[in-house]
Amino acid sequence: FTLEIQGQEFQVIESGNGLNQPELLSFAAGEITVRYSSTFSPLTPFMLEEFLRPEAIKTYQQLPNAKKNEITKLLNGLRFLSYKEKLLAGSWRFLTYFGRDSLISLRMIAPIIKVEVIEAGIHGMATHLKEDGQISHEEDLGDFAYVDQIQQMCKAKLFNIEPEQFVDEVNNYNMVDETYLAVPLLLDYFYLNGTELFKSTNPNYVPILLNINFILHEAMNKNLVAIHQNSHVGDWRDSNPGLGWGTYSLAVNAGHIPAALLSIIKLLQNNVWDLSIMKQIASDLKLDDIVQIIENQQLLIQISNQWNNNWKRFLYTLQDSERKQALERHRDYVKKNSSASPYLDGFLALSLSNEKQIIPIINSDVLFMLLDLQIDDKAMNLILEPFNVEFPDGLFSEIGNFVASAAMAPDELVVPNPPGTTKFSSYLQMFDNLQYHGEVVWAWHLVLMKIAINKQLGKWITPAPITKLSPSQHDLLTKTLTKFNIMMLKIGGQASELWTWIYKNGKLVQQPYGQSNGDDTSNAEQLWSVAGLGPLLWDYMQMTWLQLHIVETIFIIITIVVVIAGFILGVLYLIKQKTKANYEAININQKVQE
């Protein structure tokens, strides 16, 4: 773009490289006017009253200063990244649309925002949708979009495209998970009394149908969905070794797809669409899978039940001797001992190889199951055990829950390192505290855990997936949440995207991620990190004024008690002094009379 300062126009250069230095300008003291022009239309921000629900604004305005300052910081970051056209992933880098970040973040802040903000997020999804219904992972804009197109042109050996034929926006669809994230958000939208998106006149109606049809087609024709061919990434763990070189992600196959199918069922059961209109539009667009499901909803329930049991494919168990050996290997690697003996019934692993072999990494992606699915006692125990087992054997630690652990991994890789990738000698190295998706803490997974447990306990704004918890489920959820809340009180509020640790004097010490290896991937502001505002402000919304101001209230009560006590003591002192004076006067009179 072009920048003009005080009438002097110049080209903006991203950074100096020693050869092509940025232009330096100097001006006299005083007011400076800055103007810039761009080929892109400016985005439309939300005013506060357009963004937050009235109840949320009321609570926000009533907060004591300390709490209000914490909320304000998160709210400013959230509003900076939220616009009526779309939500942006982060800043300073990735200040563009990202499907996953937008859709997950909207679910986190659903209790505090107006439904119009969800509509903006769905609109952003719809305007970046592929023709077959797949949701875009991210958009590249401007010069970066041109670079993308040039690279693709070179790969295809096509050199007959003129520069004026390039477009300003390029979307990529290299992830799998995002395609299944919009429908659960739509269900939340329905529970929050949203209606506009379900009308056939809404511009997002057809894109939503395209997305649903793609989901149905995949679920009806496959029992597992792989990441894209010739790729190592496919869900939120988008670093090359993030899935342990696996092909079938637990998050996608045991979490997102079952949740999407269950959400479609619930939306149909609640009659959010006019099915006659929906069927006609689907027929016209040749969306045959939607037509089939409308005609036979029982088929969808059968398919959903099959996918709801997919977690069993990821269950990893070991003989007792192998289990103990694996735990000892990890303890030696991180240099911390433990006498725990966890995972007697196994755990749910991170991914499956192309040959359906289990990649045995303990992981936090099981939280996607807890968030949306109707799970039995066994599954819930498998999901929550790692969060109740402390480091070095589990995901729980005093600096937050880790997103992965190789504490139960074998000595050798299940899938060898692919050609052209980093060569890891073991899973211990592949998932240690230096790896982007290894034994590190991600802020948004802490938020996800709080929401998922509260939702199952019926303490969230949307209904619990399980209509009636068993006593053992309720006890386990409550125990896990209590342990989690105590840990969060110790580490305090966190708005950074992720952090790692060092082991010092027998304790884990929190460290910024990338400090030891120069990694610069994380952002100063990240949408799904500042989305932690959702459950935080929601908790405050459930409190009375007295509870919100408990510290001030206690101080006032103590002050009043002290003042009253002081007054009483003062009165008693005066009475005592007066009594003493009277007594002395009597003594004097008696002496005079004598």
Q: Does residue 286 sit in the same domain as residue 320?
A: no
pLDDT confidence bin for 566, thresholds 50/70/90: confident
Q: What is the pTM of this model?
A: 0.88
Cα separation, 229 vs 225, in Å, equals: 11
Q: Does residue 349 sit in the same domain as residue 333?
A: yes
- At 31 the pLDDT is 77
Q: Does residue 320 sit in the same domain as residue 303?
A: no
pLDDT confidence bin for 10, thresholds 50/70/90: low
- Higher local confidence (pLDDT), 410 or 529: 410
Structural domain includes residue 455: yes
pLDDT confidence bin for 569, thresholds 50/70/90: confident
Mean pLDDT score, 282-299: 98
- Higher local confidence (pLDDT), 9 or 502: 502
Q: Does residue 468 sit in the same domain as residue 325?
A: yes
Distance between alpha carbon 17 and the CA centroid of its chain, in Å? 36
Q: Does residue 222 sit in the same domain as residue 274?
A: yes
Mean pLDDT score, 476-483: 98
Neighbours of 114 (CB within 10 A): 18
The two tokens of residue 578 are: 């007066």
Q: Which helix (H) or strand (E) holds 195?
A: none
Mean pLDDT score, 424-441: 97
Q: Among 283, 308, 333, where does a domain finish?
A: 308
Q: Which of 19-28, 101-110, 557-566 has the highest mean pLDDT?
A: 101-110
Mean pLDDT score, 483-507: 87
Task: Say what percent of the chain tops pLDDT 70.
Answer: 89
Which residues sit opposite 36 in a β-bridge? 3
Q: Does residue 352 sit in the same domain as residue 427?
A: yes
The two tokens of residue 83 are: 């616009």
Q: What is the CA radius of gyration of the chain?
A: 30
Mean pLDDT score, 390-411: 98
List all residues 6 or more positions away from 131 whose beta carbon is below 8 Å from its beta carbon: 210
The two tokens of residue 346 are: 């196994």
Residue pair 87/527 in contact by the 8 Å Cβ criterion:
yes
Cα separation, 366 vs 404, in Å, equals: 11
User: Is the pLDDT reported for residue 34 higher than 90?
Assistant: no
Structural domain includes residue 156: no
Residue position matching structure tokens 């004024």: 545
Could you tell me the strand order of the sheet in which 441-442 lies?
A: 441-442, 498-504, 507-512
Q: Does residue 287 sit in the same domain as residue 337?
A: no
3-state helix/strand/coil string of 559-573: HHHHHHHHHHHHHHH
Residue pair 373/336 in contact by the 8 Å Cβ criterion:
no
Phi/psi-derived region of residue 88, left when phi > 0, alpha when psi is between -120 and 50, beta in every other case: beta
Structural domain includes residue 502: no
Domain that holds residue 18: 1-37
Q: How many domains does the chain have?
A: 4
Structural domain includes residue 101: no
Mean pLDDT score, 6-15: 52
Cα separation, 268 vs 265, in Å, equals: 5
Structural domain includes residue 129: no
Q: Does residue 484 sit in the same domain as residue 395?
A: yes
Q: Does residue 367 sit in the same domain as residue 487?
A: yes
Closest by CA to 525, choosing from 23, 101, 17, 214, is 101
Residue pair 305/258 in contact by the 8 Å Cβ criterion:
no
- At 13 the pLDDT is 47
Closest by CA to 528, choosing from 446, 437, 435, 411, is 446
- At 213 the pLDDT is 99
Mean pLDDT of the chain: 90
Structural domain includes residue 134: no
Q: Among 290, 308, 326, where does a domain finish?
A: 308
- At 592 the pLDDT is 61
DSSP string, 244-305: TT-SEEHIIIIIIHHHHHHHHHHHHHTT-S-HHHHHHHHHHTT-HHHHHHHH-HHHHHHHHH
Mean pLDDT score, 200-213: 98
DSSP string, 450-467: HHHHHHHTT-SSS--SSS
User: Is the pLDDT reported for residue 295 higher than 80?
Assistant: yes
Tens digit of each residue's pLDDT (9 = 90 or more) over 510-551: 999 875 554 555 566 889 989 999 999 999 999 988 888 876
Residue pair 132/196 in contact by the 8 Å Cβ criterion:
no
From start to end of 2-148, where are the E strands? 2-5, 8-11, 34-37, 90-91, 138-141
Tens digit of each residue's pLDDT (9 = 90 or more) over 442-478: 999 999 999 999 999 999 999 999 889 999 999 999 9
Cα separation, 138 vs 110, in Å, equals: 22
Neighbours of 497 (CB within 10 A): 21
- Higher local confidence (pLDDT), 557 or 311: 311
- At 17 the pLDDT is 39
Q: Which helix (H) or strand (E) holds 172?
A: strand 169-172
pLDDT confidence bin for 495, thresholds 50/70/90: low
Distance between alpha carbon 21 and the CA centroid of its chain, in Å? 39
Q: Does residue 302 sit in the same domain as residue 324?
A: no
Structural domain includes residue 565: yes
Mean pLDDT score, 343-363: 98
Tens digit of each residue's pLDDT (9 = 90 or more) over 56-115: 999 999 999 989 999 999 999 999 999 999 999 988 777 899 999 999 999 999 999 999
Q: Among 279, 308, 337, where does a domain finish?
A: 308
Q: Does residue 214 sit in the same domain as residue 316?
A: no
Amino acid letter for position 43: L
Angle between helices 115-126 and 182-191 (to 10 degrees): 160
Cα separation, 472 vs 378, in Å, equals: 10
DSSP string, 359-377: EEEEESTTHHHHHH----H
- Higher local confidence (pLDDT), 376 or 576: 376
Task: Say what percent of the chain tops pLDDT 90.
Answer: 72
Tens digit of each residue's pLDDT (9 = 90 or more) over 151-179: 877 877 776 667 667 777 889 999 999 99
Residue pair 52/23 in contact by the 8 Å Cβ criterion:
no
- At 1 the pLDDT is 45
The two tokens of residue 126 are: 């719809």
Question: At residue 68, what are phi and psi to the nearest 5 degrees?
Answer: -65, -40
Tens digit of each residue's pLDDT (9 = 90 or more) over 311-329: 999 999 999 999 999 999 9
Looking at 152-161, 387-396, 501-510, which range is the least confident one? Answer: 152-161
Q: Which helix (H) or strand (E) holds 507?
A: strand 507-512
Query: Residue 582 burial (CB < 10 Å; 0-12/13-18/19+)?
Result: exposed
The two tokens of residue 404 are: 């992965």
Residue position matching structure tokens 């997102």: 256
Structural domain includes residue 516: no
Distance between alpha carbon 442 and the CA centroid of its chain, in Å? 9
Cα separation, 182 vs 123, in Å, equals: 11
Q: Does residue 301 sit in the same domain as residue 351?
A: no
Closest by CA to 311, choosing from 355, 261, 376, 263, is 376
Give the single-character DSSP code of 287: -
Cα separation, 173 vs 573, in Å, equals: 82
CA distances from 101 to 88, 89, 118 (A): 8, 6, 13
Cα separation, 535 vs 461, in Å, equals: 10
Question: At residue 580, what are phi and psi to the nearest 5 degrees?
Answer: -60, -40
